[in-house]
């Protein structure tokens, strides 16, 4: 504190600077830990997901419902069930093999109570931890659409909407389909999606670890083939023989 005795005013300024820097660091830290909402954005296939890299890397689950059930681990739905191909089915467009403006030949997840909505709840015990990134694609319903997310212990993280994205009729059109997502470093315990009128249809539930590094590739140590091993032995034997001849000549000269 000697500097304070000598130059009190300058030292105060310096301390204020340190306090300001600390406050800035704290703010940055808090900001970095905050939740981020993503969407609503158009979605016709997996490549439209902001999480596609981690889906491909295997650190985020993607449930397309094309297997006929909600089968990815560590998640349960409060209402609804999977529906298969049909005139009113509204799967994500690409799931039937062709992006053609229609989702009627795919599978989706439907509930008759759009205003109650569907809550997907995550099980940290099964997953090892709560997911830190979650997304869902709203594909059909009426009225306005609302997406909500909840952190650990169920505290609300916020919401997107209500937004007016529904376009009638309800026969598999995909231009209206929208992705809603959230990231939260402290974890996401549940999401809820609802629309104010009619039933509700969703698809491509996705959840995993935000920013996770994919597992490193397994190092492959090349194993020499039999012919390579034989060649190596021949080279070694030739080298030993040459060394012995050289040693013998040296002995003869002595």
Of 39, 40, 106, 181, the residue at the interface with Ca ion (CB under 5 A) is 106
Of 130, 182, 203, 206, the residue at the interface with Ca ion (CB under 5 A) is 203
Q: How far is 124 from 74, CA to CA, in rounded Å?
A: 7
| Interface mask toward Ca ion for 140-169; x: CB under 5 A | x-----------------------------
Range list of H helices, 62-156? 124-127
Q: Which stretch binds Ca ion (CB under 5 A): 37-45, 54-62, 201-209, 239-247?
A: 201-209
Q: Cβ atoms within 10 A of the Cβ of 18, count?
A: 10
Q: What is the per-residue burial (b if ≥16 Cβ within 10 Å, else e) of 56-90?
A: eeebbbbbbbbeeebebebbebeebebbeeeeebb
Nearer to Ca ion, 100 or 123 (CB): 100
Chain residue whose CB lies nearest Ca ion: 91
| Interface mask toward Ca ion for 30-69; x: CB under 5 A | ----------------------------------xx----
Q: Torsion angle of alpha carbons 100, 101, 106, 112, nearest 10°?
A: 180
Q: Which stretch binds Ca ion (CB under 5 A): 20-28, 85-93, 151-159, 217-225?
A: 85-93
Of 48, 63, 90, 148, the residue at the interface with Ca ion (CB under 5 A) is 90
In whole angstroms, how close is the CB of 132 to Ca ion at the nearest point?
A: 24
φ and ψ at 215, to 5 degrees?
A: -60, 140
Q: How far is 37 from 159, CA to CA, in rounded Å?
A: 8
* 158: Cα separation from own chain's centroid: 19
Interacting residues with Ca ion (CB under 5 A): 64-65, 90-91, 93, 95-96, 98, 100, 102, 106-107, 139-140, 173, 176-177, 203
């Amino acid at each position: 504190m000697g500097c304070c005795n000598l130059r009190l005013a300058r030292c105060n300024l310096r301390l204020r600077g340190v306090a300001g820097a600390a406050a800035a660091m704290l703010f940055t830290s808090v900001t970095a830990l905050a939740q981020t909402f993503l969407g609503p954005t158009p979605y016709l296939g997996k490549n439209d997901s902001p999480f596609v890299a981690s889906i491909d890397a295997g650190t985020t689950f993607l449930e397309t419902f094309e297997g006929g059930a909600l089968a990815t681990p560590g998640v349960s739905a409060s209402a609804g069930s999977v529906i298969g191909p049909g005139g009113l089915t509204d799967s994500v467009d690409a799931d039937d093999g062709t992006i053609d403006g229609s989702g009627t030949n795919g599978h989706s997840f439907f509930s008759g109570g759009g205003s109650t909505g569907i809550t997907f709840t995550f099980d940290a015990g099964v997953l090892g931890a709560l997911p830190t990134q979650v997304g869902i694609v709203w594909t059909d319903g009426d009225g306005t659409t609302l997406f909500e997310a909840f952190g650990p212990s169920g505290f609300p993280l916020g919401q997107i909407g209500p937004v007016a994205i529904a376009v009638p009729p309800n026969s598999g059109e995909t231009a209206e389909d929208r992705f809603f997502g959230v990231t939260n470093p402290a974890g996401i315990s549940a999401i809820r999606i609802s629309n104010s009128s009619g039933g509700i249809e969703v698809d491509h539930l996705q959840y995993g670890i935000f920013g996770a590094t994919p597992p490193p590739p397994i190092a492959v140590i090349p194993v020499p083939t039999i012919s390579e091993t034989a060649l190596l032995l021949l080279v070694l034997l030739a080298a030993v023989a040459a060394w012995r001849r050289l040693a013998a000549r040296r002995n003869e000269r002595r």
